[in-house]
Amino acid sequence: MPSKINFMSPLEAVSILKSGDHVHLSSVASTPTILVNAMCEYAKANGLRDIHVHHLHTEPPAPYADPEYEGIFQHDAFFVGKNVRKQVQAGYADYIPIFLSETQNLYRSGVLPINVAMVQVSPPDNSGYVSLGTSVDATLAAIERADTVIAVVNRDVPWALGDALIPLSAIDRFVEHDEPLEEAIPAQPNEQELAIGRHCAELIEDGACLQMGIGAIPNAVLSQLGNHKNLGIHTEMFADGVLPLVEKGVINGSMKATDRGKIVSTFLMGSQKVYSFIDHNPNVLMMDVGYTNDPFVIARNPRMTAINSAIEVDITGQVCADSIGTTFFSGVGGQVDFIYGASRSEGGKPIIAMPAITSKGVSKLVNTLKVGAGVVTTRSHIHWLVTEFGAVNLYGKTLQERARLIISIAHPSAQEELDKAAFARYGSHYHFVK
């Protein structure tokens, strides 16, 4: 480690905090836990109040959102992970609804002030640069605009390229602490998810550029692409499922119009294999979220295929992906960015993929969304809808045509009730599916 870096303790590093400050935390696998804990300790011990904490999804515990810190911290995240979901639902924490592509603009435009950015970085190279590793997203914008940048220098942060590289001069305070990044064990798809994956894989053409997130359904899709050719990746995130396809040469980016030959992402969440894969890898670019999630950048890639999930979809095609009634789940995220971007792409396919029924036997295809449900993708944006029972294209279809198509891929136990609801809604001109 270069001797010119003046390391300090975590408590000393956060001692610049004051009441009313706005703090940004780097996200997902790279949340600086040691600074989070020091921030909570320092703020409580020194009687600080009304510190606003902003971030995208974070994996580790989030003590600042607990009732114990009410009045000290105000959690105003851009995305709600499982570590703060109960607190948001209980009112101890809050959420700013926003497209993922615009999170960086909250800082750059000055809509949100940013006093302190807390991040993790790799050790510096001989040129005096460090890498943000797995978390560029809105973190780069926070670093650009923050009054003070505090960085944990961690040997376990991979050396990612692209917008991840920043000069040491962009950082004001340094803490040295080596700790493995948070990992996510790859989810194993069940038969229901494998069926969804098969239907999605059938829609993916050779030469397509893919966006999909993390979880069992993306893994199910990726596991069935082994015979495809010349696929590319332009996404907000990727995980372990892409690695076998890269090794096999299926994913090579040769048909992309932007960043040809490169995998483009803005944050990561996976196993250590993923973090090792991006380390000093010239074929992976970790980019600012204003680039990865810009619908017009996305649309430049031909055959852009975006696969996103949902909680509920009604028979008009409204997609709920953030909340059911008063139960809050996540947030808008990047779904609309990629659904719209893929719809503008030449030969693009925006896809909503979801199980037709929950593990408790409740249909996820419904007549009307529950009261309070958040519409993330509108009925005007939706194209392809996929369940384990098939794939239907709703683009250009009337409301009655949509109802018939959506009901056709509902669970058989729900079809009759949905048919009756559609008949009650549209009258005698509507004809039952059966």
Q: Where are the beta strands (DSSP E) in 252-407?
A: 263-265, 267-268, 284-286, 304-308, 312-314, 319-320, 323-324, 327-328, 349-353, 365-366, 375-377, 384-387, 390-393
* Cα–chain center distance at 203: 22
Name the nearest CA neighbour of 222 among 188, 182, 269, 265.
188
CA distance 145 to 139: 10
Q: Could you give the count of Cα atoms lying within 13 Å of 202 in the half-sphere of its Cβ?
A: 14
Distance CA 18, CA 147 (A): 12
Cβ neighbours of 72 (radius 10 Å)? 18
> Does 236 participate in catalysis according to the annotation?
yes
Q: What is the CA radius of gyration of the chain?
A: 22
CA gap 51, 42 in Å, rounded: 12
Q: CB-side exposure of 305: number of CA atoms within 13 Å?
A: 20
> In the numeric block, which tokens belong to residue 38?
């020091």
Q: Looking at 155-206, which runs of residues are DSSP E strands?
A: 161-162, 165-167, 173-176
Interatomic CA distance for residues 319 and 193, integer angstroms: 19
Say which of 59, 236, 312, 388 is annotated catalytic.
236
- The pairing of strands 365-366 and 312-314 is parallel
Which residues are the active-site residues?
A: 236
